[in-house]
Structure formats: C-alpha cells, structure tokens
C-alpha cells in the first residue's frame, strides 16, 4: 500500500519511521517532508493547506492511506476532501478539528458537558477583557482563540502582564484572526502532562502518557516554544490516574463531540494540568503532539498502520496496543534565537555518530539536504531520542546522542526528563 504523510517536522519523521516498519507499507511519501524524512520516504513538493490539490495528487498516485501530522490542514478540511473522494485518511474532519482550531469552542464544550477545566470568560472586545482582568486582581491565563503555533497562551502573574497579553493578541494582532476572541481563565497550579489516545468515535484507547517541556530554558524559564523535549511514560500519570482521565475526560469528550454533531476520529490529545491529584483540561489538540510523538512511538510495538486503519473503519475495539518496557526521552536541538528570529543554512555535523550509538534515534524537524550535507532550515532542527530500560538510562542515551551533534549556535535544554525522576520510573 502507498502511504502519504502530510507535514514536514520531527513528528512526521517519527511517523514515517514507525510506519516504515509496517508490512502494509509498500511505499511512503511525505508532503512536503524535510531533509531527514527523505531517508525513509519520497518527499513531495506541495502545500498541505491546498487540500483539493493534495487530494487530487493522492488520488492520481493511488495512495491507500494518508496520515495528517499538523493541525492546519485538519482545520482546513483535508479529511473532508479525502473522504468525499472515498479515500482513507487518518485524522478528524473539519468540524471535529474545531476542538483545537477554536479554544472558545473547546471551552464551551467542556463547560456544557461538565468536563473538568479551569474557570474562564470569553471576550471579543479588548477593553472588556482588560476591565475584567483589572477586577479579578490575581494571576490568570490569557489565550488566543485560534491557532497560534503553540505560542498563543500567556501565563500572567499580574494584571499588567495580562493586559499586555490582551494587547498583543487583540490589538497588535500578532496572531492575526486567531486573536478575534480571547479567553481569560484561572491559573491552575500543578504539573502538566500530555495524554494522547486513539479513537474511532466510540472506542478510546490511550497511549502511554508523556510530559512536554515548553519553555526554552532549563527550569521552565523563558518564552514558550513549540516544545523543547519530552519523555514517556510520564510517572505523574499513574495507572489509576490514567483510568480516571479516560473515564472523566477522554470518553466524555468523544461522546460530547458526537452529541454535538462532530463525531471525532483520529488522535485526541489532551493537555492536562494535574492539580491536587485531579486532572483538568488545559487544551485539546486534534493530532499527534510534537515532540511527544518522538518519545511515544519508539515505545509502541503494535503496527501503527493497522491501528490507523482500525480508527478509520470504526473497528478500534478489536485493537490492543503493546508497549515496549522502559522509557524514551526526546531532546530538541534548536537554532540560536529560537523561538524568536534565527538563521538558517548552518551545517550539521555528527549525525552519523549519534545514530550509531545504541538506543539512540535522530528525527529531523527543520533540516534540508544539499550537496550531500544536512543544513538547518527551522527553529527546531532535530529531535534526539534515547531509549532505555528506565528513565535515567533513556536520559543518558538521549544526551549522549545530542553530544555528538553540532551546528553553529545550537541550543538545547539540559534538564529534559528530570521531572520524571521523582516518580521512580
């Protein structure tokens, strides 16, 4: 079977790596792909946002399965277009992808169905938002309604910070139309976890929990990024906690989406805050996480293509996921200046040495291949993954791999996975 992966980041490289292990995968394409994905898949030029053109190309090529990585094509209706043509595609349709595409939709859904989340207010006028913030007199979180590449959330310690966030989003319009509305919500204090699950609209099967590291610097300091690393499994999410999350959050959300006329199929990713031993939804994403995927898939032993087909054809109840024992840690190697401005075209060295180490995988995110060399082409350049029998060994393997790689102004966090050590995994 011919398989097409939509996207070009580290998540898509990890998907290509895992999908290539399936006996069902005869040939893999990736649109647009990146330098590293080209080792596994044939990279195809194209704009994933032009959904009709992508679907037409896939139809002509006889693609048997399409897997959508990033959120934007989902919110633009790529699944609807493929489905209209009778083609198998993994991911939620446009209506269901609203759960990520609009935080207003998501928060209102959670409130309506009693699914635990932080208290909130919604505003379409910056003045009203600032008046409310001034009256609350405490820390809060300000969020842009629409897609903002993971950067539309401001955790504000005081009124001044919160008002500045509203100005950025609604007046300076730094996220464009995503800032038509803002959500101001209470600031929950606890520890975050990423909880991803497969669902066919009825059955919900969880993956192992993960923990992302959003801030650019060690100790969770500095601005938010798309993610500087992740580890799995997250010891914070005990088996008992996982069952609670499934019963009180994931299954009710899938049922709620169906009742709202938006049946959900694909990966449902809950960003959670564990507060006083209870999980609350911070956000939902309508796809695999990045970099969580890079630490989850190396531990999955089940054929991913079979799981995706079961989701598409509503037979997920027949699937049982098998997991490799141990842990995996992903360290993101970033360009200097990221998440702000950064330079491209830096020569990357040491990839062969890193990949030659035992229990080390390297997933490409922002790279291009030119004249036999790999060059940087993005803010997040590489994800170095270490696997081990336990978390300390996985951390050691990941940092051993990262230590082999070099490019000018390379930056990475030195504390990925450290939070998990207190849980003894």
- The 8 Å CB, 24+ separation contacts for 121-125 are 121/183, 121/184, 121/185, 122/181, 122/182, 122/183, 123/181, 123/182, 123/183, 123/184, 124/180, 124/181
Q: Output the CATH code of domain 327-423.
A: 3.90.600.10
Q: CATH topology of 2-91 equal to that of 191-318?
A: no
The angle subtended at Cα 27 by Cα 327 and Cα 43, nearest 5°, is: 85
Q: Please, what's the b/e burial string for 220-237 (b: 16 or more CB within 10 A of its CB; e: otherwise)?
A: eeeebbbbbbbbbbbbbb
CA distance 217 to 63: 42
- For the segment 69-104, what is each residue's pLDDT rounded down to a tens digit? 999 999 999 999 999 999 999 999 999 999 999 999
Q: Residue 425: what pLDDT?
A: 61
Q: Residue 136: what pLDDT?
A: 83
> How buried is residue 271: exposed, middle or buried, by Cβ count under 10 Å (0-12/13-18/19+)?
buried
Query: What ranges do the domains of the chain cover?
Result: 2-91, 125-180, 191-318, 327-423
Tokens of 257: 């989406």
| pLDDT < 50: residue spans in the chain | none
Out of 3.30.70.20, 3.30.2010.10, 3.40.228.10, 3.30.470.20, the CATH code matching 191-318 is 3.30.470.20
Fold exhibited by the domain 125-180: Dna Ligase; domain 1 (3.30.1490)
Q: Which CATH class is domain 2-91?
A: alpha beta
Q: How far is CA 368 from the centre of its chain?
A: 22
């Amino acid at each position: 079977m011919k398989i097409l992966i939509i996207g070009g980041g580290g998540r898509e490289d990890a998907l290509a790596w895992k999908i290539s292990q399936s006996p069902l995968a005869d040939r893999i394409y990736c649109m647009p792909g990146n330098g590293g994905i080209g080792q596994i898949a044939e990279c195809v030029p194209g704009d994933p946002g032009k959904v009709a053109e992508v679907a037409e190309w896939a139809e002509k090529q006889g693609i048997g399965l399409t897997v959508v990585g990033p959120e934007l094509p989902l919110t633009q209706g790529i699944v609807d277009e493929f489905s209209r043509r009778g083609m198998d595609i993994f991911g939620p349709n446009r209506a269901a992808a609203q759960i990520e595409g609009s935080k207003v939709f998501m928060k209102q859904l959670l409130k309506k169905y009693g699914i635990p989340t932080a208290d909130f207010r919604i505003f379409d006028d910056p003045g009203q938002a600032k008046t409310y913030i001034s009256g609350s007199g405490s820390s809060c979180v300000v969020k842009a309604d629409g897609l903002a590449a993971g950067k539309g959330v401001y955790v504000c310690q005081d009124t001044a910070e919160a008002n500045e966030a509203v100005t950025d989003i609604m007046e300076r319009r730094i996220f464009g139309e995503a800032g038509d509305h803002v959500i101001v919500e209470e600031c929950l204090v606890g520890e975050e976890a990423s909880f991803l699950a497969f669902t066919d609209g009825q059955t919900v099967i969880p993956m192992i929990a993960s923990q992302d590291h959003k801030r650019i610097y060690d100790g969770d300091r500095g601005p938010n990024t798309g993610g500087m690393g992740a580890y799995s499994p997250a010891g914070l999410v005990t088996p008992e906690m996982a069952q609670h999350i499934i019963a009180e959050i994931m299954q009710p959300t899938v049922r709620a989406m169906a009742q709202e006329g938006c049946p959900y199929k694909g990966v449902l990713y809950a960003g959670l805050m564990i507060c006083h031993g209870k999980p609350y939804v911070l956000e939902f994403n309508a796809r695999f996480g990045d970099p969580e995927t890079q630490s989850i898939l190396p531990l999955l032993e089940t054929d991913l293509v079979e799981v995706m087909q079961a989701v598409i054809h509503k037979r997920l109840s027949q699937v049982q996921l098998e997991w490799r024992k141990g842990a995996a840690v992903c360290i993101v190697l970033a360009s200097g200046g990221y998440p702000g401005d950064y330079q491209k075209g830096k020569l990357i060295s040491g990839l062969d040495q890193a990949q030659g180490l035992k229990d080390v995988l390297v997933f490409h995110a922002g790279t291009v291949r030119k004249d036999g060399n790999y060059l940087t082409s993005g803010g997040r350049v590489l994800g170095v993954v270490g696997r081990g029998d336990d978390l300390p060994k996985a951390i050691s393997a990941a940092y051993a791999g990262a230590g082999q790689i070099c490019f000018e102004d390379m930056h990475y966090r030195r504390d990925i996975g450290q939070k998990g050590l207190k849980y003894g995994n």
